[in-house]
Structure 1
Amino acid sequence: MHHFTLPDMSCGHCVAAITEALQAVDAHARIAIDRDRKTADVDSTLPRETLAAALTQAGYPPAP
């Protein structure tokens, strides 16, 4: 399980874009997004760095 804080997430469109970006790299990932807290929990076998790169490329770089 990977936990990301995504400070640039603010709306439903953001949630959809983040979900799409994560599913593009791991179609089987289980994703739980909390828009109010600006967090995403991702259950994936991929390394954190791969998921973070996908988020960054989509325009939602995770906070360190």
Structure 2
Amino acid sequence: MTTTITVTGMSCGHCEQTVTDALESVDGVRSATADNEADEAEIEGDAPVGDLIAAVEAAGYEASA
């Protein structure tokens, strides 16, 4: 399943990598890609959306479904 969430606060490739790493650390995530220009992240897997948002916020960014 593919889930897309809105992520605000990213401004560069390092930010994208930080968000990607945070998402990929969540149980149930097979892969993740963050895009700072689109202000979103796309996640493959079956992790609950709340867990994805919590991981992004723990990394220092704002997220919503």
Does the TM-score normalized on the shorter chain lie above 0.5?
Answer: yes
Name the TM tier (shorter chain).
0.7 to 0.9
Is 1:38 aligned to residue 39 of structure 2?
A: yes
Counterpart amino acid of 1:23? E
**Length-normalised TM-score, structure 2:** 0.81
Q: Structure 1 unaligned runs (5+)? A: none
Number of positions where the alignment pairs a residue of Structure 1 with one of Structure 2 = 64
Q: Kindly report structure 1 stretches of 4+ aligned residues shifted beyond 3 Å.
A: none
Look up the SS of the partner of 1:62 in the other structure. strand
Q: 1:23 to 1:61 in 2, by over 3 A?
A: same
Look up the SS of the partner of 1:37 in the other structure. coil
Deviations, residues 40-63 of structure 1 (Å, cap 9, x unaligned): 111121110011100110111214
Contact 1:6–1:60 (CA under 8 A) maintained in structure 2: yes
Percent identity between matched residues is: 33
Q: Structure 2 unaligned runs (5+)? A: none
Is 1:19 aligned to residue 20 of structure 2?
A: yes
Counterpart amino acid of 1:58? A
